Amino acid sequence: MKKNILVIYYSQTGQLEDIVRNVTLPFEEKKDEYDVTYYNIRLKQDFPFPWPNDVFFNTFPESYLQIPSEILPPSEEVLGKKYDLIIFGYQVWYLTPSIPIISFLKSGYAEKIMKDTQVVTISATRNMWMLSQEKLKVYLKNMNAKLVGNIALVDRHDNYTSVLTVIRWMIGGQKEKSGLLPAAGVSDEEINGSVKYGEIIERHFNNNDIENLQSDLVKNGAIEIRPFLVRVEKVGNKIFTIWSNLIIKKKEKRPLLIKLFKVYLMAAIWIISPIVLVLHLLTTPIFWFKRKKQREYLQGINLK
196-248 pLDDT, tens per residue? 999 999 999 999 999 999 999 999 999 999 888 998 999 999 999 999 999 99
Mean pLDDT of the chain: 95
Roughly how many angstroms between the first and final C-alpha of the chain, as a whole number?
Answer: 37
- Please list the residue range(s) of the chain that carry CATH number 3.40.50.360: 3-224
Q: Assign 271 a pLDDT band (cuts: 50, 70, 90).
A: confident
Alpha carbon distance 192, 187 (integer Å): 9
Angle formed by the axes of helices 195-206 and 15-28, nearest 10°: 40
Quick one: pLDDT at residue 281?
83
For 6-53, the pLDDT digits (tens) are 999 999 999 999 999 999 999 999 999 999 999 999 999 999 999 997
Which CATH code is given to the segment(s) 3-224?
Answer: 3.40.50.360
Beta strands in 229-285 (DSSP E): none
> Looking at the DSSP assignment, which residues form a beta bridge with residue 178?
181
Alpha carbon distance 3, 37 (integer Å): 11
pLDDT at 3 over 90: yes
Alpha carbon distance 101, 176 (integer Å): 26
Judge contact between 122 and 97, C-beta under 8 A. no
The radius of gyration of the chain from alpha carbons, rounded to an integer in Å, stands at 19
Quick one: pLDDT at residue 151?
98
pLDDT at 68 over 90: yes
pLDDT at 284 over 90: no
How far is CA 215 from its chain centroid? 20
Alpha carbon distance 180, 225 (integer Å): 27
